[in-house]
Structure formats: C-alpha cells, structure tokens
Amino acid sequence: MPWDGFAPSTRDVKSGALPAVYTDTAKFKEGQDRLRNEITRLVAISESGDEDAVKAQILAVNKVCNGCHETFREKQ
C-alpha cells in the first residue's frame, strides 16, 4: 500500500524520493518485491520460534531497506 504514494503525480512534491523513483521504475518495483519476499520469510521464520534465525532474517529485511534507500532516497 505505501508504494501508491510514489505515483508519477507526486513527482514534484518535496520529499526524500530521488528522481530515479520515477525513471528507474523497474528497479524500484524490484526493491518492493524483494522487501515483500523477505518479510514473508520473516513471518514464516518467526512462527518457527528459532530466535537466531529470526534475528538473521531481520537483518536480511534491513538490508533490503538500506539497499533501496541507497539508490532511491536522498541522503539524510
């Protein structure tokens, strides 16, 4: 749902979204899919109750967040 906020009509709204969000849309979409996959895995792993596996998967999710911000979000 949050991705709806990145519609082309919002391009000129002041935000931390870099222009690549609107030009490299395939890669931006890929980042969204990757995030969804890793979060789905996190849910599955958390049901296993294996704490170390859960921690490792949280880091995997975090990597996807950072990976996308690296390319698509203005440096803070």
Residues binding ligand HEC (CB under 6 A): 15-17, 21, 28, 31-32, 35, 61, 64-65, 68-69, 72-73
- Tokens encoding 24: 């490299």
Residue 10 beta carbon to ligand HEC: minimum distance, rounded to whole angstroms: 8
Residue 47 beta carbon to ligand HEC: minimum distance, rounded to whole angstroms: 19
In angstroms, rounded to a whole number, what is the distance separating the alpha carbons of residues 72 and 22? 9
List Cβ neighbours of 46 (8 Å cut-off, separation of 6 or more): 54, 57
Residue 46 beta carbon to ligand HEC: minimum distance, rounded to whole angstroms: 15
